[in-house]
Structure 1
Amino acid sequence: MTSTAVTAATSVSTIDPAHFRSVMRHLPTGVAAVCSTNPRTATPCGLIVGTFASLSLDPPWVTFSVARTSTSWPAIARNGHFAVSLLADGQQPVCTALAGKNPDKFRSLEWEMSAYGTPHIHGSLGWIDCTLLHQLDGGDHHLIIAAVRDITAAGSGDPLIFHGGRLGSFRETTAA
């Protein structure tokens, strides 16, 4: 199937977006903070994604999607470099701050500037410093592909998970 055929097939969908969301909410996702510095103001900027994933090991690439309506993404994209902080269980306040519309999202956050000039959120399980490679059309989202410049495991513990409209953690259980 060519990309033209895919575009034509998806443009006639009769699936209700609310129904689509209600089914997809059964799939848990990790929560990551994508942060950079606004090149116009030299201030930190960031957003939350629940779609972050590795795309390629060689070369090391990652991917995520961002809503076209995001007011933070344009500054991050203009910079071209960003860090992804892998949020840990207990970092719900970080998620709330970066998901909001407050222009000073970092005021209540503990963070430091990396050697690459990107904000790293304290308490995260790891950081991935990236360079933007591609921004592709993804319907009502942009599909982002980025090259990994550096990667650090910062801590241990459970990741922050989004599932069923709630933030929480993963707890391993074993069968009796």
Structure 2
Amino acid sequence: MSAPAIARPADTGTARPIAPDTYRAVMRHLPTGVAAICSTDPATGARHGMIVGTFASLSMDPALVTFSVMHTSTSWPKIAASGSFSISLLADGQQHVCKALSAKGEDKLAPLDWSESAWGDPRIDGSLAWFDCTLEQLLAGGDHLIVVATVLEMAPGNGGAPLIFHGGRFGSFRESA
């Protein structure tokens, strides 16, 4: 069965580029979850972490997840080089984790409570869920890299409400009446 025809606007020649400020202003309307990506360098024992708002499920079989990172990230190359990483979905009230992992510096995890995974990577304590992963694939995506990761192990955390980022602010989920 073929796909139905889709009505498209008339070709005007060249599409106008979307200005980054416009893109950012419109995308602020999309609420996102907040995830901490953390790893341990097996050679030095140094721990690395970063925050993403682009984490998503990709596939159940095989179990794959995805997120994206800016090409200019200084944390991602260190995390990717470690061979494995842990992803912690942050809970309401864990804004301090975002602040710590978004700061410049070498030991971003020092002020945080975390537990070590079976692969030696930090999992943020109190998170809603965690995933232990290995890098499966990197794809180019404009000014970002799209990361595809294989899930080795995963589990729910302590429950509660997710930390949500929306309109430049942190908040939480509240069920509608």
Q: Name the residue aligned to 2:7.
A: none
Spell out the pairing of 1:1-176 with structure 2 (5 A cutoff).
Answer: 13-174=16-177
Gaps of 5+ in 1: 1-10
Gaps of 5+ in 2: 1-13
Aligned-partner SS, 1:107: coil
Q: Find the aligned partners of 1:164 and 1:72 in 2 and give their Cα distance.
A: 25
Q: Is the 8 A contact 1:39 1:78 kept in 2?
A: no
Aligned residues: 164
The AA in structure 2 aligned to 1:131 is T
Q: Deviations over 1:107-151 (max 9, x none)?
A: 110111111211011110111000101111111110000000000
Identity %, equivalent residues: 59
Q: Find the aligned partners of 1:18 and 1:77 in 2 and give their Cα distance.
A: 29
The AA in structure 2 aligned to 1:89 is D
Structure 1 stretches of 4+ moved >3 Å: none
TM-score (norm 1): 0.89
The AA in structure 2 aligned to 1:108 is P
Q: Deviations over 1:78-126 (max 9, x none)?
A: 1121000010000000011101112211111011111121101111011
Relative to 1, partners in 2 of residues 1:12 and 1:67: Cα closer, same or farther, differing over 3 Å?
farther
Q: Find the aligned partners of 1:103 and 1:13 in 2 and give their Cα distance.
A: 41
Q: Find the aligned partners of 2:163 and 2:97 in 1 and give their Cα distance.
A: 11
Q: Find the aligned partners of 1:104 and 1:24 in 2 and give their Cα distance.
A: 31
Using the TM superposition, give the Cα deviation of residue 38 of structure 1 relative to its aligned residue in structure 2, in angstroms: 2.5
The AA in structure 1 aligned to 2:35 is A
Q: Find the aligned partners of 1:38 and 1:23 in 2 and give their Cα distance.
A: 38
Aligned-partner SS, 1:75: helix
| Greater CA drift, 100-109 or 65-74 | 100-109
Relative to 1, partners in 2 of residues 1:107 and 1:171: Cα closer, same or farther, differing over 3 Å?
same
Q: Find the aligned partners of 1:15 and 1:154 in 2 and give their Cα distance.
A: 39
Q: Find the aligned partners of 2:130 and 2:173 in 1 and give their Cα distance.
A: 20
Q: Identify the structure with the greater helix proportion.
A: 1
Q: Is the 8 A contact 1:39 1:75 kept in 2?
A: no
What do you get for the CA RMSD once the two structures are aligned?
1.4
Q: Deviations over 1:156-175 (max 9, x none)?
A: 1000000000011111121x
Aligned-partner SS, 1:59: coil
Using the TM superposition, give the Cα deviation of residue 155 of structure 1 relative to its aligned residue in structure 2, in angstroms: 1.1
